[in-house]
Amino acid sequence: MLVFLLQVRDLLVHHRIHLFLVYMGLVWVIWGWKAGLSRRYRPFTVECDASTAVIIPVVDEPEDLFRDVLDRITRQGPDEIVVVINGPENPTLERICAEYPGVRSLHTSTPGKRNALRIGVEQTSAEICVLVDSDTIWMPDTLDELVKPFANPNVGGVTTKQRILEPERHILTRWADWMESLRNEYAMPAMSVLGTVGCLPGRTIAFRRCVLEDGMDNFLHGRFLGIFLEVSDDRTLTNECLKQGYKTVFQSTSLVYTDAPLTWKKMAKQQLRWARGSQYNTMRMFPWMLRRARTLAVFYLADIVLPFLLLGAYVGWIIRQFVITDVDLFEPFVSNYGRVGGGLTVAMLAIVASVASSALRQSRHLRQQPSDLWRIPTFLIISTLMLMPIRMLGFTRMAHNSGWGTRSGGFAGERNRNPHAVIPYLLAGLMVVGMSLYQP
């Protein structure tokens, strides 16, 4: 943030536009846009008496967790509950399902969540299909609140508010819950106001049956950049819902909890899977968004470009140090306080300014979790050093034929080589090189 302010001063005095200035300017513009829209958000309150079917695809889960999941769902009285075990047979899960009247368990040897969802939809008849991850914990009124938006006939898909179970267990669970909170407070309500939530997260989402039936063929077989990606099924279904002309919305009064990885390796794999699927679907949906949902197009395009813009700013700065052409923004500090004193002053001001900037953009979350104020430096390090590189890697690998990536027995992906896989690499390379060679 300190560099940003110094670059603003340089812009006003010397009319030089720095790349990092552009990056931070976009960060603030996107945040302000979301913050402004989200202030208009209100949850839906009109009751809806549509019939509901809960569909739970599962490969394997711990017995106690899966029993808790089913117990909480059955208490809320959906009209139908179908558990679809995909991949290897699992007698333990079948036995647990049999303990609950009204719960049907099916098995398919074909691995993959999408095929399991297809089977679940075909085996139910309710008006609203609720798709639930097998490790998602519902609160007592999750279902009642989730279906309320469907009282509006223009709504085709609804997602819940989502948080992390026992976030204090580990720095990664604390960080993951922080990320969920920011989505709940800014991005999700902002997009919901416009009726275009770009991704209804798959831990618990509800769709009108007609949306799933009409979009099922593309959901199972749709290809882009030469491949079919099994990952990001929630984003794919959201795309289908939007393209059919329905609104997709966020219901903040419907709350679920889920787990988060406790190791850096698993967290990195999860984030890479999400990054690949998200950016794959952004690119395939981008023409539609430009025509029908321009605000959504800006949000998702910024999500792709910002990490590359930051990398380009850093690489360009390093290059200019070797050729001694960069503007010295810190010279006044060195002149006034000396090299050591000036360096310490810059470091302290940079830390204070970064924390203050982040605290302002996360003020709604900090009102709920004040102790996270002291964690902001750690969270910023995790987001910058882990999340941003993963998002860039996810962009370059979005046309690779890899599979699920985090669960044994899951979808394995196609094995043939894809000649289109080089396209994202070329686009990424052009962005980084072009930005790195930029001269203020």
pLDDT tens column, 150-188: 999 999 999 999 999 999 999 999 999 999 999 999 999
The torsion angles phi and psi of 58, rounded to 5 degrees, stand at: -150, 145
Q: C-alpha angle with apex 432: 314 to 288, nearest 5 degrees?
A: 125
**DSSP element (H, E) containing 65:** helix 63-75
Identify the CA nearest to 137 among candidates 192, 61, 45. 61
Q: Cα(398)–Cα(67) distance, rounded to whole angstroms? A: 35
Structure tokens at 50: 């549509």
pLDDT confidence bin for 328, thresholds 50/70/90: low
The model carries a pTM of 0.89
The answer to whether residue 409 scores a pLDDT higher than 60 is no
Domains and CATH numbers, the chain: 19-326+362-440 (3.90.550.10)
Q: Cα(238)–Cα(157) distance, rounded to whole angstroms? A: 7
Provide the percentage of residues in the chain whose pLDDT is more than 70.
Answer: 92
DSSP assignment, residue 136?
Answer: P
Name residues whose C-beta falls within 8 Å of residue 39's C-beta, 6 or more positions apart in sequence. none
The answer to whether residue 439 scores a pLDDT higher than 50 is yes
Mean pLDDT of the 330-351 span? 70
Average of per-residue pLDDT values in the chain: 89
Mean pLDDT of the 53-74 span? 95
